[in-house]
């Protein structure tokens, strides 16, 4: 193999590049990344990055340091114990020896990986990897045989192997997004949200009680905002944790100081039209004037313009188009209640970034379909991280994105599946001062048994048992027993695979 192209220059893409060099690939290595940044860590974006208001006030600058202590930043706990050790590439045929335009020509503010605790790599490693970094560039297609990656700047990378690591994008509400409405996936998203949160006390509505919604709610409470979380299911996190532990997480919101409304969806957003609309912007001036709040913070005064709502959407809004959708003023729930809001965070999941593959022969369906060794339907294409559906499962966890690349690269270089991913699923989440850790596969009908501590004390270990054995474990502020159980689950898995 002379050339390998990694599409997606973030966590899984970086780990794939490391693995390629570590496993002896000394050819041309190209990384294509849609974001203008070198790889950075996303977990802190919903945690310490949001609450660090001091930094919010300072202007981003380029830094050359990386790997600052992860302690207390919400950074990924395994990061400094990365399984992929940094190795110097073998020199030889690799013509790619640097960072290519537009990286070179991008303004400093764009490159700003500024926040040392987010950086996943450093200049020394960049040199060692001897890769061509095409940053700020989208891949727009893959030829039928997986031998050429098309780019949005008109270039084509002719390649022998492809690693797809394009991750996922935050789902949005339908319709235009007024100012004050945020999703949280990228550094740019986090900076925009943080800027909104530093403008004094705000009424924040978080739509979606999943991990990102819960963490963001927790960060907003820590910043002193008035926070309401809206979750359509009867409890948040049921699919991930099951009903018993989901109940505990619901209590975390309440005890932490956020309002939690469950069992109701969102009908639409109300917005204040801009005072001086320009061009063909909205000019209806039909802001919600909520009042008469009930204890949940909701009002029952529908009638203002709602975006994304079939029931209350203004015909004028539809006909004029979203040139300037104004500023959000409230969230209208599907039961008719209205939550006044200055800031809305939409945390309703993520969609795998496979759009650029449409029209190719590659099998795609909620992710790139791969065998258990991360090999896609073309043998010289592998997929890793959030975009990869590996052996029928698509995980959106930091640890999966760092563990899959070793196996994927091995199979790519072998031109067949010689190894499958056997790693035990693991994720963590930080909410309201509690660290939640989960490992294993949770059968839907598992029984939950608490073996250490107690939910009432805020720290416990719960085991999910099924067919006479432990299938998964969840810990809240109980790291040591959790680590022990995780090791046992790993050993059990290795023995059975
Ligand atoms: P991504 O990190 O999404 O990177 C994919 C990259 O590919 C992006 O830079 C994207 O711009 C780029 N790309 C997309 N399309 C193209 C294209 N066509 N051409 C070129 N480039 C493209 N996990 C945990 O286990 N615990 C946590 O506490 C946790 N917290 C999180 C908090 C937040 C706010 C977020 C967003 C995620 C969190 N995660 C957490 C999940 C974890 O960060 C992801 O699993 C991980 O980032 C996946 O890495 P990835 O490289 O597969 O995808």
pLDDT of residue 494: 75
* Dist. CA 49–CA 60, nearest whole Å: 13
Per-residue confidence band for 77, with pLDDT thresholds at 50, 70 and 90? low
**Angstrom distance (rounded) from CA 112 to CA 407:** 32
User: Counting atoms of ligand 1 from 1, which one is nearest the CA of 8?
Assistant: 7
H or E segment at 201? none
Of 5, 6, 10, the one to substitute when testing ligand 1's pocket (max ligand atoms within 8 A of C-beta) is 10
What is the 3-state composition of the chain as percent helix, strand, coil, each rounded to the nearest 5?
A: 25, 25, 45
The DSSP symbol for 179 reads: B
Instruction: Please say whether the dihedral angle defined by the alpha carbons of residues 268, 273, 278 and 279, taken in this order, is positive or negative.
Output: positive
> Which numbered atom of ligand 1 lies nearest the CA of 186?
36
Together in a domain, 339 and 359: no
Pocket test for ligand 1, best of 6, 11, 349 (most atoms within 8 A of CB): 11
Distance 201 CA to ligand 1 centre (A): 30
In ligand 1, the atom with minimum distance to the C-alpha of 184 is 34
Q: Which atom of ligand 1 is nearest to the CA of 384?
A: 52
Query: Looking at ligand 1, which residue's alpha carbon is closest to its atom 40?
Result: 43
Report the C-alpha gap between 291 and 298 in whole angstroms: 9
Q: Ligand 1 site: residues with CB under 6 angstroms?
A: 7-8, 10-13, 32-35, 42-43, 45-46, 138-139, 165-168, 184-185, 212, 353, 356, 385-387, 396-399, 401, 427-429
Closest by CA position to 367, among listed 348, 393, 385, 388: 388
What is the complex's ipTM, to 2 decimals? 0.99
Residues forming a β-bridge with 449: 463
User: 356, 376 in Cβ contact below 8 A?
Assistant: no
CATH code of the domain containing 40: 3.50.50.60
342 and 388 both lie in a single domain: no
Give 96 Cα–ligand 1 centroid separation in angstroms. 25
Measured CA to CA, the distance from residue 492 to residue 471 in angstroms comes to 9
83 in any annotated domain: yes
User: CA-CA distance, 72 to 85, in Å (whole number)?
Assistant: 24
454 in the same domain as 362: no
424 within a domain of the structure (yes/no) = no
Q: Does residue 199 have a pLDDT over 90?
A: no
Cβ-based neighbours of 48, under 8 Å, separated by 6 or more? 72, 73, 74, 75, 117
Domain-located, residue 234: yes
Atom of ligand 1 nearest to the CA of 35: 11
pTM assigned to the model: 0.85
Output the 3-class SS for 9-66: CCHHHHHHHHHHHHCCCCCEEEEEECCCCCCECCHHHHCHHHHCHHHHHCCCCCCCCC
Residue 419 belongs to some domain of the structure: no
The kind and range of the H/E element at 484 are: helix 479-496
**Residue 343 C-alpha to ligand 1 middle, in angstroms?**
23
Q: What is the rounded CA–CA span in Å between residue 416 and residue 143? A: 20
pLDDT of 146-185, one tens digit each? Answer: 999 999 999 999 999 999 999 999 999 998 889 999 999 9
Which residues pair with residue 219 across a beta bridge?
Answer: none
- Answer whether the bond into residue 172 is a cis peptide, omega within 30°: no
Burial state string for 125-150 with b = 16 or more CB within 10 A and e = fewer than 16: bbebbbbbbbbbbbbebbeeebbebb
- φ and ψ of 214, to 5 deg: -65, -45
Over residues 213-235, the mean pLDDT reads 97
371 and 453 in a single domain? The answer is: no
Which CATH number is 437's domain given?
A: 3.30.390.30
| Position 315 pLDDT exceeds 50 | no
Between the CA of 10 and the centroid of ligand 1 the distance, in Å, is 7
C-alpha distances (whole Å) from 291 to each of 34, 226, 264, 297, 329 are 43, 16, 20, 10, 12
- The residue whose CB lies within 8 Å of the most ligand 1 atoms, and thus the one to mutate among 386, 388, 425, 437, is 386
Alpha helices in 287-362 (DSSP H): 315-320
Q: By residue range, what is the domain housing residue 372?
A: 3-169+350-414
Atom 32 of ligand 1, residue of closest alpha carbon: 43
Q: Which of 7, 32, 34, 182 to mutate to test the pocket of ligand 1 (most atoms within 8 A of CB)?
A: 34
Residue 136 lies in a domain: yes
Confidence of residue 56 (pLDDT cuts 50, 70, 90): low
The answer to whether residues 43 and 154 belong to one domain is yes
> Taking the CB of residue 286, how many other CB atoms lie within 10 A of it?
19
**Residue 264 covered by a domain:** yes
Ligand 1 atom closest to residue 167's alpha carbon, by position in its atom list: 53
- Which DSSP string corresponds to 236-275? TTHHHHHHHHHHHHHHHHHHHT-EEEES--EEEEEEEPPS
Q: Of 385, 414, 443, which one is at a domain's C-terminal end?
A: 414
Residue 136 three-state SS: coil
Atom of ligand 1 nearest to the CA of 400: 45
Same domain, 209 and 279: yes
Instruction: Count how many domains the chain has.
Output: 3
Tell the residue nearest (CA) to atom 38 of ligand 1. Answer: 43
Same domain, 369 and 338: no
Task: Give domain status of residue 427, yes or no.
Answer: no
Distance of alpha carbon 339 from alpha carbon 330, whole angstroms? 5
CA-CA distance, 130 to 122, in Å (whole number)?
13
In a domain, 159, yes or no: yes
Q: Give residues with Cβ within 8 angstroms of 15, minimum separation 6.
A: 82, 84, 384, 401, 402, 405, 406
Between the CA of 11 and the centroid of ligand 1 the distance, in Å, is: 7
Q: In terms of domains, do 239 and 270 share one?
A: yes
Q: Say if residue 161 is in the same domain as residue 191.
A: no
Ligand 1 centroid–CA 387 distance in Å is 9
Is 416:218 a contact under the CB 8 Å cutoff?
Answer: no
Tell me if 395 sits within 8 A of 426, measured CB to CB.
no
Q: Are residues 360 and 342 part of one domain?
A: no
Tell me which of 292, 326, 346 is where a domain ends.
Answer: 346
| 41 and 59 inside one domain | yes
Q: Ligand 1 centre from 408 Cα, in Å?
A: 18
Per-residue pLDDT of 63-76, as tens digits, reads 323 322 333 445 56
Of 80-94, 171-185, 317-331, 440-454, where does mean pLDDT reach its minimum?
80-94
Q: At what angle are helices 398-414 and 11-22 packed, to 10 degrees?
A: 40
The conformation of residue 163, written as its DSSP 8-state character, comes to E
Same domain (yes/no): 480, 395: no
Rounded to an integer, what is the distance from CA 284 to the centroid of its chain?
A: 36
Domain final residue pick, 414, 444, 469: 414
Mean pLDDT for all residues in the chain = 83
Structure tokens at 444: 């839907």
Q: Mean pLDDT check: name the lowest of 256-260, 449-453, 454-458, 470-474.
A: 454-458
For residues 125-147, give the mean pLDDT.
95
């Amino acid at each position: 193999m002379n050339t390998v192209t990694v599409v997606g220059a973030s966590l899984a893409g970086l780990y794939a590049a490391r693995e390629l060099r570590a496993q002896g690939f000394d050819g041309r290595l190209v990384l294509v990344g849609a974001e203008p940044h070198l790889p950075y860590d996303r977990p802190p974006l919903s945690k310490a990055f949001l609450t660090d208001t001091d930094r919010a006030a300072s202007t981003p600058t380029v830094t050359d340091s990386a790997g600052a202590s992860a302690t207390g930043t919400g950074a990924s706990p395994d990061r400094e114990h990365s399984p992929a050790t940094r190795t110097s590439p073998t020199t030889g045929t690799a013509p790619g020896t640097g960072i290519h335009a537009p990286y070179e020509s991008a303004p400093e503010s764009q490159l700003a990986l500024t926040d040392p605790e987010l950086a996943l790599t450093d200049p020394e490693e960049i040199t060692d990897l001897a890769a061509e970094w095409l940053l700020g560039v989208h891949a727009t297609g893959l030829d039928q045989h997986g031998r050429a990656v098309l780019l949005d700047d008109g270039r084509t990378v002719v390649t022998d192997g492809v690693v797809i690591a394009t991750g996922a994008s935050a789902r949005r509400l339908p319709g235009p997004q007024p100012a004050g409405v945020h999703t949280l996936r990228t550094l740019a998203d986090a900076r925009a949200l943080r800027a909104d949160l530093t403008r004094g006390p705000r009424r924040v509505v978080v739509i979606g009680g999943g991990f990102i919604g819960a963490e963001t709610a927790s960060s907003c409470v820590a910043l002193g905002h008035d926070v309401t979380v809206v979750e359509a299911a009867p409890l948040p996190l049921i699919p991930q944790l099951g009903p018993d532990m989901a109940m505990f997480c619901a209590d975390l919101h309440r005890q932490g100081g956020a309002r939690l409304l469950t069992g109701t969806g969102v009908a639409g957003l109300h917005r204040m039209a801009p005072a001086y609309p320009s061009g063909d912007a909205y000019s209806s001036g039909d802001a919600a004037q909520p009042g008469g709040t009930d204890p949940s913070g909701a009002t029952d005064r529908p009638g203002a313009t709602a975006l994304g709502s079939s029931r209350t959407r203004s015909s004028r809004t539809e006909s004029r188009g979203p040139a300037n959708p104004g500023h959000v003023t409230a969230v209208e729930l599907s039961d008719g209640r209205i939550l006044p809001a200055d800031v809305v965070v939409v945390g309703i999941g993520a969609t795998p970034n496979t759009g650029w593959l449409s029209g190719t022969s590659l099998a795609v369906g909620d992710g790139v379909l791969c065998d258990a060794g991360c090999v896609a339907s073309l043998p010289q294409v592998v997929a890793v991280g959030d975009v990869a559906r590996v052996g029928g499962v698509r995980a959106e966890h930091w640890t999966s994105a760092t563990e899959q690349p070793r196996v994927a690269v091995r199979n790519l270089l072998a031109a067949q599946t010689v190894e499958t991913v056997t790693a035990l699923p693991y994720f963590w989440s930080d909410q309201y001062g509690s660290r939640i850790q989960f490992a294993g596969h949770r059968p839907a009908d598992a029984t939950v048994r608490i073996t250490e501590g107690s939910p009432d004390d805020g720290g416990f270990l719960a085991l999910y048992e099924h067919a006479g054995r432990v299938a998964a474990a969840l810990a809240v502020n109980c790291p040591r027993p959790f680590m022990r159980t995780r090791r046992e689950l790993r050993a059990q898995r290795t023995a059975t695979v």
